[in-house]
Chain A
Amino acid sequence: MFIRVNKERCSGCETCIASCPYDAIVIRDGKAEITEMCQMCRACLSVCPEGAIGEIGEASDVKEKEEGRGVWIFAEQRDGVVAPVSFELLGAGRKLADMLGTDLSAILFGASSSDAAELFRWGADRVYHCADDAVRGFADEVYAGLLSDLVRQYRPEIVLAGATPIGRSFLPRVAARLRTGLTADCTSLAIDVESKNLLQVRPAFGGNIMATILCPHTRPQMATVRPRVMKRGEYDASKKGEMVRVSAEGIQTRARVIETVKEVSEVAINLQEANIIISGGRGVGGEKGFNMLFELAGALEGACVGASRAAVDEGWIPYRHQVGQTGKTVSPKLYIACGISGAVQHLVGMQSSDIIVAINRNPEAPIFNVATYGIVADLFEVLPLLIRRIREVKGK
């Protein structure tokens, strides 16, 4: 299939050019032309006032869909501790499996048998567990080799992994080897009722647009899923399932981990686990302003202080507090954005918070578009009052 401009109809009005996220439309001899940059996103189809843009199918579009059954999630572990994203994947995978009327399997490389059994309680019907020494540490070629072998043997229709440094590094090798599609960093997953295809939604262009991606013909459909976006499912302490032992014997690697160094600051951990985050941006004005934020965090008990990139770049607060695309992704129950304008790069790191309160002097600030509660005000007027009143309320 490809996108074509009907030159008879095209008036050369250029409306379509702005609609194209891939810069794939040029005007040549007064008519629009689709270039090889085209990604077939169809954004231009509906904007053409002349109805001159259409899609043309090809014989090769009618491919036979490959077979597959079952939803798989890759349960990642580091130092024997199963990563939180694994339980989120089980939550998301359970829903997909139920929609498809199929079962949910978890793949666990490393960790213990009791960790493997825990995956049943979070929703898995079956666990493929490899306890070999070779998979204790992360090795791309071993992980990719073993997962590819398992997929070839059992033929699942969907494989999900966390969009973590581990998932994003080895899953591409699996997709390449199995000649199937992989969608990166998904923030939402659903099943298309008619075709039963997996609808994979992900941000692109730094979060400026969202795209729905399909893998219509090949199986499995594979995706990495952004941590802290999907909700965990119900925990059922009595749930059991089928345990399948698998072995990585004979799989070689040419990249070996010599040493592992931990380098995580307390703040970074706390930020990602905090129920409440008070975050400051350029509007906070300096270190003194941040002291006020720390005071508010103190009044709220267990709250952490975050920051936008602008504030970090100004040197008002260390990088480890940074929330956003180049900092941490957080999703607390309550996120209070103080003097943060809301650049997309910041929004992608916090917009899945349950409740967002935005305080900003500029009523046009984009942060208000994602805020549950917006307050147009001077921080230095509102925050001291808020701190005082919270202390009074808590004191009672």
Chain B
Amino acid sequence: MKIVVCVKQVPDTAEVRINPETNTLIRDGVPSIINPYDLHAIEAGVQIRERAGGSVTAVTMGPPQAETSLRDAISMGVDEGVLLTDRAFAGSDTWATAYTLARAVEHLGADIVLCGKQAIDGDTAQVGPEMAEFLGIPHVAYVRKIEEVGDKEILVQRLMDDGFDVVEASLPVLLTVVRELNTPRMPSLKGKMAAKKAVIRKLTLADIGADENSVGLKGSPTQVKNIFAPEAKKDRRMIEGTAEEKVEALLHALRELKCL
């Protein structure tokens, strides 16, 4: 079984704050981490290999420093790390990112492609399903349980708003996974040693045979027009006074608004 896990290095968004005066992001000391959902994809990949044999390759697209996330993946049991890096990939939106990753996966070959359900910086959840379309394979999003992995088919549970679906898909397949799927393991000592020694393979635009007009900013249908801080409520009011006065003022306001 050949398994490819796609990972993304992201800023720890829980630590990101907006400076309300300058309207800019405060990211001093904000660490870069592996996207948390991707840890579950890595764990799933390693578990499938433990049962069915084969290999797990982690792929990331990003600048040279994204290599760290691949070493982290190797420390969790992944066999190999592949870094997709090329100036031409700069400014990719989800379409171009998915296209580029798909070309890389095609280059590597895979029976099962695993992705986290979304990255916590962009929160789009689009790259996985878009990749599946570019690869011409089926996908199942929001996988919360992998029930069976066969040679030709896979049986999984897909999380829905009102419960879950049991879905059978033919291989090769792409899955995006949610947190409920598993508990990612801590790196073992052996894993840490392997991560340290690992040689990270680097692939460029030419290596994966991608069309230069379909990658990076040039290949991206969407553009960021601008960014801004979320609006604060305009008509907000602080209610002052003693506890009794506050409660009376609140009751009055709620009655005016027909909330009571």
Contacts and interface: CB of A to CB of B under 8 A. Distances in A.
Interface of A: 1-2, 18-21, 23, 35-43, 47, 60, 78, 137-138, 140-141, 144, 164-166, 168-173, 175-177, 179-185, 199, 203-218, 253-264, 276, 300, 333-334, 345, 347, 351, 355-357, 368-378, 381-382, 385-386, 389-390, 393-394
B94 A180 contact: no
Main SS class of interface, B? mixed
Contacts of A179: 95, 221
Nearest 7 Cβ contacts at the A-B interface: A181-B221, A36-B90, A181-B222, A263-B163, A176-B133, A184-B124, A172-B129
B17 to A, nearest CB: 7
Contacts, number: 300
Most A C-beta atoms less than 10 A away, residue of B94, B127, B129, B251: B129
B218 A373 contact: no
Interface in B211-236: 217-218, 220-230, 232-233, 235-236
Given A23-B27, A37-B63, A370-B232, A333 B13 contact: no
Given A258-B167, A389-B251, A43 B246 contact: no
Contact of A60 (B98, B129, B160, B218): B218
Most B C-beta atoms less than 10 A away, residue of A1, A181, A276: A181
Nearest to B257: A355
A377 B246 CA distance: 9
A374 B251 CA distance: 13
Given A60-B218, A256-B168, A385-B243, A38 B91 contact: yes
Contacts of B167: 255-258
Contact of B243 (A138, A205, A381): A381
A171 B169 CA distance: 19
Interface of B: 11, 13-14, 16-19, 22, 24-28, 32, 62-63, 87, 89-91, 93-95, 98-99, 120-134, 137-142, 155, 158-170, 173, 217-218, 220-230, 232-233, 235-239, 243-244, 246-248, 250-251, 253-255, 257, 259-260
Given A215-B222, A334-B254, A385-B247, A255 B163 contact: no
Given A208-B25, A375-B239, A389 B248 contact: yes
A382 B243 contact: yes
A305 B117 CA distance: 29
B152 to A, nearest CB: 11
Contacts of A168: 125-126, 141
Contact of A370 (B95, B120, B122, B233): B233
Given A137-B165, A169-B139, A345-B14, 6 more contacts: A203-B230, A211-B226, A213-B222, A255-B173, A258-B167, A261-B163
